[in-house]
Amino acid sequence: SAGLYLVAVPIGTARDITLRALDILASADVLAAEDTRSLRRLMDIHGIAVGDRPLLAYHDHNGGRMRPRLMQDIADGKSVAYASEAGTPLIADPGYDLALDVRNAGHGVVAAPGPSAVITALTLGGLPTDRFHFAGFLPNTAGARKSFLLELKDIQATLVLYESPNRVAAALDAAAEILGPDRPAALCRELTKKFEEIRRGTLSEVAQSCCDTPPRGEIVLLIGRPNSSNVSDQDLESQLKAALGRATV
Ligand code: SAM
């Protein structure tokens, strides 16, 4: 039925897409994508034809111009499926303004949830997942990065950051300096892809590994909360008990 359908697509492996997402892509009246070529390729892989349906580009640079067109389609009773280039739309990707406008106009917004690099990194990274703070991309100038990291410094949660491979070494150095070199960290690279890799260690160790072997591809950085370690609370407790036991003997 009419409305905006926000469709999550894979972050690497083409088969990481839900059956419902495929149904929506197969049946929507209008298709919109951050990158029309990658949506077309994905639909191809899954045997879904675009046919004579419009397949429109909607991204940061043309969103303002395209929104009225998509809003009109929805007002005319059409269903519009939107996918960003990878993962979940709106998560460090376009779609927020569109969803807001559609909702404010009184039309339906439907999510077809699926992969996102945030959740995949938390799943594999090995840092506590009970509380996390997703901070998106770090700013790319040194000064802005520093004040951004200062804002994150005292947050009592695992920090999740997106970073590009050319900047990750500088970002890790800055994080080690501002957050402390001994916080646990995990660099999660090329998730769900052929060269998937997780580098774990302290911030300074992971920073060093980036100097030794610069990581390529797509990266999510996880940083443990202040005073955290890779040891779980349970292990800490038993270590403490053992130490106390020795002390009283
Ligand atoms: N909407 C996407 C999501 O739900 O995760 C994020 C889009 S954002 C423009 C792209 C960034 O996400 C990359 O620079 C990288 O930091 C992260 N990312 C996306 N796919 C990834 C993957 N397969 N492995 C590691 N990081 C990934």
> Tens digits of per-residue pLDDT, 196-244?
999 999 999 999 999 999 999 999 999 999 987 655 566 667 777 887 7
CA of 27 to the centre of ligand 1 (A): 27
Q: How many Å apart are CA 101 and CA 65, to the nearest integer?
A: 13
pLDDT recorded at residue 236: 66
**Through-space distance between the first and last CA atoms of the chain, rounded to whole angstroms:** 73
Half-sphere exposure of 216 (CA within 13 A, CB side): 3
Distance 137 CA to ligand 1 centre (A): 10
> How high is the pLDDT of residue 246?
73
The whole-model pTM stands at 0.92
Cβ–ligand 1 contact at 92 (below 6 Å): yes
- Tell whether ligand 1 has an atom less than 6 A from the beta carbon of residue 218: yes
Q: In the prediction, which pLDDT does 229 show?
A: 64
In angstroms, what is the span from residue 218 Cα to ligand 1's centroid? 6
Give residue 239 CA to ligand 1 midpoint distance, Å.
Answer: 38
Q: Is the CB of 122 under 6 A from ligand 1?
A: no
Low-confidence stretches of the chain (pLDDT beneath 50): 249
Report how far ligand 1's centroid is from the alpha carbon of 233 (Å).
30
CB within 8 Å of 138: residues ≥ 6 apart: 145, 148, 149, 161, 162, 163, 167, 171
Contact 8, 87 (CB under 8 A): yes
Say if ligand 1 is within 6 A of residue 197 CB.
no
Please give the distance of CA 78 from its chain centroid, rounded to a whole number: 29
Residues in a beta bridge with 9: 87
pLDDT for residue 230: 55
ipTM above 0.90, yes or no: yes
Helix (H, G, I), strand (E, B) or coil at 168: helix
